Amino acid sequence: MVKINGEDVNANGKKLTDYLKDAGYDNRFIAVEINEEIISKSQYAETVLKDGDVVEVVNFVGGG
Amino acid sequence: MTPTKEEMLKAFEVRHGKTVQSKFLSSVVAVCGLGGLGSNISISLARAGIGKLILIDFDKVDITNLHRQQYKADQIGMLKTSAMLENLKEIAPYTEYETHAVRITEDNIYELLRDADIICEAFDNAEAKAMLANFVLEKLYDKYLVSASGMAGIGSSNLVKTRKVSEKFYLCGDGVSDVNTSGGLYATRVMLCAAHQAHTVLRILAGEYDI
């Protein structure tokens, strides 16, 4: 299982870029950390989610 | 009459204690965006006696800002950096201020932010927020980032929270209330979020890292 924003998700072996797309995120508005390390947007396509990973997808919305 | 620097320092120390105040005084905080969030964050931090504030915004004060941003009606048309500096100097005359009337881009961000200990992201545009967060987390990882997402609309004040995403990355707001879909911005809710951000800055400086 991969813990994504606090929830267990069956995403082992899935590419980060595919997870983000399937979950409906727009890459322009997010920052992603895996195990407290920021993932550069250029790395989304080659990053594979592994069992036990803790993923935070921060989705920014407008307003300030 | 404006008090002397020594009189103000003494007043700060009475309120915050000498140890905490010396930490505030020796710190540099950058505020990126001087709108509803940034204008309120700047005033709170100046009032707390932060040593130096770096204030960045490319925009001018508009009549549609006055309902939530800390400017005055006669400041419409001024650069927000100039108007904010004017207001802050009236409140906290001995704080050091550095202003930049520029749009923050990937080309100038390093130069603008490299001297800051803590960076407050206070933009209104979601894409700009994400750009700043990604840049700081990737390239300026020795600094703390206090960002905001979700404070639009007239939803409950109790939904506005501070979350610690990772060791040096804090996120304030309700996380979901988008200005484009949640019905405008209210001074009160934006100020709540700004207060979360400013308070997080003070807590970090005081050595209180948990939320």
Spatial CA neighbour of B42 closest among B1, B80, B2: B80
Alpha carbon distance B172, B174 (integer Å)? 7
pLDDT for B107: 95
**Chain B residues with CB inside 8 Å of A29's CB?**
126-127, 129-130
- The per-residue pLDDT for B16 is 96
- According to DSSP, residue B3 is labeled P
Q: Give Cβ neighbours of residue B206 (< 8 Å, ≥ 6 apart).
A: B20, B23
H or E segment to which residue A32 belongs: strand A30-34
Sheet holding B52-56, edge to edge: B96-100, B52-56, B28-32, B118-121, B144-148, B169-173, B161-166
Alpha-carbon gap: A55 to the closest alpha carbon of chain B (Å): 10
pLDDT digit string, tens, across residues A13-40: 999 999 999 999 999 999 999 999 999 9
Dist. CA B90–CA B140, nearest whole Å: 32
* Chain-centroid distance, C-alpha B49: 14
Q: Average model confidence (pLDDT) for chain A?
A: 97
pLDDT of residue B183: 87
pTM of the model: 0.97
Residue B2 CB coordination number (10 Å): 10
Radius of gyration of chain B (CA): 16
Contact: A63, B182; criterion CB under 8 Å? yes
DSSP-based three-state secondary structure for B62 = coil
Q: Are B173 and B193 in contact (CB under 8 A)?
A: yes
Interface with chain B: mutation pick from A4, A58, A59, highest number of B CBs within 10 Å: A58
Helix residue ranges per DSSP H, chain B: 5-16, 18-25, 36-48, 80-91, 109-113, 126-139, 187-205
Question: With an 8 Å Cβ cutoff, are A63 and B141 in contact?
Answer: no
Which residues does B134 contact at the CB level (< 8 Å), separation at least 6? Answer: A31, A38, A40, A41
Interface test with A, best of B137, B146, B193 (most A CBs within 10 A): B137
Which residues of A make CB contacts under 8 Å with B? 28-31, 33, 36, 38, 40-41, 56, 58-64
Using the Cβ of B188 and the Cβ atoms of chain A, whether some distance falls under 8 Å is answered with no
Task: Tell me the ipTM for this assembly.
Answer: 0.96
The length of chain B in residues reads: 211
Ranges in chain B, pLDDT < 50: none
Residue with tokens 């006669």: B74
Whole-number Cα distances in Å, B133 to A2, B127, B144, B193, B194: 23, 10, 11, 17, 17
Task: List the single best residue of A30, A35, A36, A61 to mutate versus B (max B Cβ within 10 A).
Answer: A61
Cβ atoms B123, B154 nearer than 8 A: no
The strand order across the sheet containing A54-59 reads A7-9, A2-4, A54-59, A30-34, A37-39
Chain A partners of B149 at a C-beta cutoff of 8 Å? 58-61
Q: Which chain A residue has the Cα nearest residue B40?
A: A64
- A61 with B33: Cβ contact below 8 A: no
